[in-house]
Structure formats: structure tokens, C-alpha cells
Amino acid sequence: MDWKGCRANGQDMLVDSPYIILLILYLPLMLAIFCAASAQWPITFVALALNGLLICLVLSGSFSASDDRFGLGQFIVNALILALVAIVLAGLAILLVRPPRTPAPERDGIIAVLSVVPALLLLLFGLGIFSRWRGDIVFALLVAGALFFAQQAIQRRRKAQGPLSDDLYGLACFVLTGTVGASIVFACFTAIAVHWQAAKTAASQPYCIQSGSRAAASMLDLSLITFREPHYSRWPRFLRNHGLLVIGTGTGQRVMHWSYRKLTFQPPLMANEGSNLSSRPTIVCVPS
């Protein structure tokens, strides 16, 4: 399901469903940030404000790129930024004026730890911070992180005398282990989907997959974490294609681009639809 805006520059502007869901969640998140400040939960306040900032960054790229001649997309972006700034400033004022609660509320730390989950997922999958990285390096970092947090969590539990909720560091390690582990599984699923669709589309013909300016060396290069182009705050929403499938036809090459909306390789090349010649891809991989 896609939300279709007005036409601009001869293009239909689309905002994908995940961004609409984030936009819907943004308002209750602002309320939660203010409530955390009112309840004198400073750690939760900071953690939720970080989530709000990350969501704002993700939505800004999508809605700015989907803008129309009436400026609706940019108006939404400005409203998101102003709302976040106003809520954070109001929350800080409350925390500074009111005396801190003693002892510190136990639930403050627990909720703050749990709010790390969406923040980490937004960093990995929403903002594309590892876009075009080598897949083996990224997966090695994620696996090493998951093993480290798992080791820390197990070690803390062996030494702990009370419940897990009393040990915020141990709880954080358990949460991070689960989140990073789930991210690895999801990334592997997306990589398998890209590889399977490439083989299906090529239909026994020689092919190769290109990620950015280099050929994909292994299936690890094909996950959503790395096999993507980051958002740009202007049209087109992505300056270049996420990835290319180059199929050898015997008399030439057939080139298609990967679409996360369709979850398949699509013709024609997205970059070739625009007038920006510098955004058009150079084929560097050789079908085999």
C-alpha cells in the first residue's frame, strides 16, 4: 500500500507504507517524551527523544523527496521538526525546574533500555548508515556485537543476586543481544530474497549483481543493510538505484534495478528516468 501525492516534475510522488506508519507513531511518541519529563524520568526522556530524532530524520528524507508543488511534503517535515524541538525544550524545562525524584524510579531505566530497540533498528534499516559497505564486514561487526552482548548478559546473570530488572546493564545486554540477533536474521532474509529473485529473473542465463560502483562479491552484500542507496532530501528520492541485475543475453546485456517496494528486479533503470546524467549507473560487473 502506497500513499500517492500530487504530481510534481512529471512524477507521481509516493510515500511508502512504513513511513506512513512512522508518521502515525510520531504523535504518541511526542506525548510519551513529554510524559517522561513530567514523571521525572530523565533517562527515558533522553532515550525517547533520541528515537524521535531518528524517526524525524527518516521521515524528513522521504517526505521532502515526495514534495509536490503545494509544498505539502515540506510542510510535514517542518511540522515534525518543530514538534520535536518544542517537546524537547518543554521537557528540559520541566526537568530543570522540578527537583529530581529520590530514589530514582526503577521503571525509568527499564523503559529507557527497551527504547534502545527501535533506535537501533532505525539506525540499521531506516537511515542506511552501512549503505554500500562490504557485507562481510557489516555482518562480522553485527555478529561480534551480538556475541559480546550475549557474553556480557550471561556473565552478569551468573553474578547477579537479584532480579534482572535490578541490573540495568545486564538487561541492556539481553535486549541488545536479541535486537542485533533479530537484525542479522532479517538482513539474511532480505539477502536471500535478492539472490533468489536474481536467479529467477535471469532464468538460467549468466548474470551478475552490482551494488553501487562494484560487483556484489557474495550474498552478504545483498542485504537491506548494505544493498541500498541512502535517502536524499530532494527528488529523486534515491539518487541512484539500490542495485543492478546485469543479465548476459548472448547478443548484449539486459539491465534491471532492484525495487524494495516490489521486492523484485524491475525495468527500466530508475536513474535513467531522470535528466541527471551523473546519476546514471556505469556497469562494472560481468555476467557469468
CB 218 within 8 A of CB 136: yes
pLDDT tens-digit map of 1-52: 333 333 334 444 455 677 788 888 998 999 999 999 998 899 899 999 999 9
pLDDT tens-digit map of 158-188: 887 777 667 888 888 999 999 999 999 999 9
Q: Model pTM greater than 0.85?
A: no
**What integer pLDDT is reported at residue 148 of this predicted model?**
95
**What integer pLDDT is reported at residue 278 of this predicted model?**
47
pLDDT band at 83 (very low <50, low <70, confident <90, very high): very high
Q: Is the pLDDT of residue 80 over 80?
A: yes
Q: What is the DSSP letter of 286?
A: -
Q: Is the pLDDT of residue 116 over 90?
A: no
pLDDT tens-digit map of 201-216: 998 899 999 988 888 9
Q: Which of 93-107, 132-146, 153-167, 266-280 has the lowest mean pLDDT?
A: 266-280
State how far Cα 85 lies from the chain centre.
Answer: 22
**What integer pLDDT is reported at residue 57 of this predicted model?**
86
Collapsing DSSP states into helix, strand and coil, what is residue 90? helix
How much of the chain, in percent, has pLDDT values that exceed 70?
81
Considering the chain, what is the average pLDDT of its residues? 82
Mean pLDDT of 83-101: 90
Q: Is the pLDDT of residue 260 over 80?
A: yes
What type of residue is 284? V
Return the beta strands (E) in 138-239 as ranges.
Answer: 207-211, 214-215
Q: In the chain, what is the straight-line distance between the N-terminal and C-terminal CA atoms, in Å?
A: 36
**What integer pLDDT is reported at residue 15 of this predicted model?**
59
Q: Is the pLDDT of residue 239 over 60?
A: no
pLDDT band at 221 (very low <50, low <70, confident <90, very high): very high
Question: Residue 197 half-sphere exposure, CB side, CA atoms within 13 Å?
Answer: 22
